[in-house]
Copies of this chain bind each other. A is one copy, B any other.
Amino acid sequence: MSYTAPVKDILFVMKELADIDGIAALPGYEDGNFDAAQAVVDEAARFCGEVIAPLNVTGDRNPSAWSNGEVTTTPGFRDAFRQFAEGGWQGVVHPSEYGGQGLPKLISTACNEMLNSANLSFALCPLLTDGAIEALLTAGSDEQKARYLPKFIEGVWTGTMNLTEPQAGSDLALVRTRAEPQGDGSYKLFGTKIFITYGEHDMAKNIVHLVLARTPDAPGGVKGISLFIVPKFLVYDDGSLGARNDVHCVSIEHKLGIKASPTAVLQFGDHGGAVGHLIGEENRGLEYMFIMMNAARFAVGMQGIAVAERAYQQAIAYAKERVQSRPVDGSAKEPVTIIHHPDVRRMLATMRAYSEGARALAYVAASHSDLAHGHPDADARNSHQAIYEYLVPIVKGFSTEMSVDVASIGVQVHGGMGFIEETGAAQHYRDARILPIYEGTTAIQANDLVGRKTVRDSGRVAQALLAQMDQTIVALIEVDGQAFKSMHRHLSGASLSLARSIEFIVAKFKSDPNAVFAGSVPYLKLAGTVLCGWQFARAMLVSYTKLNEDKRFHSAKIATAEFYAEHILSHAPAIEASITSANGQLGVLALSEDQF
């Protein structure tokens, strides 16, 4: 099953919802206008479809393999990564002074979606390198930037994030890896890190680990964590590679999915200490890591959208090919392709509505990030940054949770064939399952959304988004037709549900934290449901005015928006009930631990 990038929808979202031309008007983004975006997207679509996508099944059947501390990746990955590097794809969004293309995040978001649709396992390697680049750009010294960034962007070295330890998963306060200063500015690191994506592989000449560890006098908890750079091979001042560092891959995991992506257990310092250098200041490691993580969390949200899109394409292809049963309305006497059956159509529409809705929201978020970086006015920058930060946990949590459901529906569309591994639908179901877990589980995203993103500013950013949404709701009234009426009704109700939930969370956060956190994931889900619905409302308003330009595309957008309103957005009041009915003493926490 091949992958054909949904270029038309991607460009529609970039132009009509995420205002690519507005971003191209910002200083520094002059090269990022719609025409440029279109050229990049077309080329990425070709590369991902032709080179990367065919390796997706290969990777599932021939996972990366560990032997004697070395990892051999799936056949074809090395060559594909070389082509990826040569095409300049690692540098799309990164600064031109280090060899990147300096394009808006909005454009790189599209590239990332396509790369991930083509191959989640493959795309993880550049995804992690992107995170390392972000962290060094923010907190690295000039010397560190000069030493590492060009190599990352050139695609000859790759980066990793080393947070998790066996006892420290979501709770980084429990990190134990030690970093001992050597007096010469360097440190030696000792400890075990697990779940390190591409922690060892054979696609790059060096692997550069960014590692959370504690210095000897550091305070306990998260305030005593520093960030270190620990390359697999030491790097001379001229950039050439020196001795093998004391960090070793002792095993990789046997996983449910994304099997081509090696998930390493890394041992630091078993042979005298792994040489590392501090990034930024001591004890500020978590802060820096959050920069990396915010980029990575957004990127994982894109992975959700990407695998949903791929699963959707595969389901459509099967539904258009598989002949089974006569139509329920008696319109044909012979069996028809199953796409003619209403329930199959409902499943496909559900997959499509989730994928398109989540895409629109994520691209709009990326656009806020670009405005936060490039807008000439400081207040505007801050305001866009706040919106972007509000949206990141939603893009991550909502897009990844829905991707599991969408991949599951994809299996269902295939019937019995979906359960046979050869078909390929099951791979998406297995692959998607990690997405709501890594880079912070959905609960961790929801905690972030509640605490840092909603309560800290008393819901101001959230309410500002609701105020913008109100304008769209008003605009819906102006348009005739069942689809617009339906969207108006459901979006009005859903936005009120979201507004009341935000009020509840802000009001109860201090007095009844258990109640608020019991509803935190439902709140994230509600916010995602409503905000994606809003994007559909905006999209259908645009499509209404452009129906004559491309009837097939725009009428499909309006129909999908209506479907979203009636089948997905319609659940908003029920999700609200789950949030606001919560009560620290009753409800979710009514069962005591020993009653489970």
Whole-angstrom distance from the CB of A485 to the nearest CB of chain B?
A: 11
In the complex, besides A194-B416, A341-B443, A345-B589, 16 extra interface pairs with C-beta distance below 8 angstroms are A170-B415, A171-B325, A173-B325, A256-B420, A256-B426, A345-B518, A346-B522, A412-B436, A418-B437, A430-B430, A483-B586, A483-B590, A562-B586, A562-B587, A563-B590, A571-B571
Residues 294-322 of A contacting B (Cβ, < 8 Å) = 316, 319-320
Report whether B433 and A345 are in contact in the complex, using a CB–CB cutoff of 8 Å.
Answer: no
Q: Which of B348, B429, B556, B588 contacts A342 (CB 8 A)?
A: B588
Report whether B573 and A574 are in contact in the complex, using a CB–CB cutoff of 8 Å.
Answer: yes
Task: Report if A80 contacts B (CB, 8 A).
Answer: no
Whole-angstrom distance from the CB of A351 to the nearest CB of chain B?
A: 10
Report whether A408 and B421 are in contact in the complex, using a CB–CB cutoff of 8 Å.
Answer: no
CA separation between A169 and B417, bound complex, in Å? 10
Closest to A589 in B: B345
Closest to A490 in B: B577
Report whether A195 and B562 are in contact in the complex, using a CB–CB cutoff of 8 Å.
Answer: no
Chain A contact residues: helix, strand, loop or mixed? helix
Given contacts A256-B426, A343-B518, contact A404 B408 (CB under 8 A): yes
Q: Which residues of B contact A171 (CB under 8 A)?
A: 324-325, 335
Task: Report if A411 contacts B (CB, 8 A).
Answer: yes
Q: Which residues of B contact A404 (CB under 8 A)?
A: 408
Closest to A253 in B: B420
A contact set with B: CB distance below 8 Å: 164, 167, 169-171, 173-174, 194-195, 253-257, 316, 319-320, 323-325, 328-330, 335, 337, 339-346, 348-349, 352, 404, 408, 411-412, 415-422, 426, 429-430, 433-434, 436-438, 441-443, 446-447, 482-483, 486, 513-515, 517-518, 520-522, 552, 555-556, 559-560, 562-563, 566-567, 570-574, 577-578, 581, 584, 586-591, 593-596
Given contacts A408-B404, A596-B316, contact A343 B521 (CB under 8 A): yes
CA separation between A590 and B349, bound complex, in Å? 10
Q: Which of B254, B419, B521, B574 contacts A421 (CB 8 A)?
A: B254
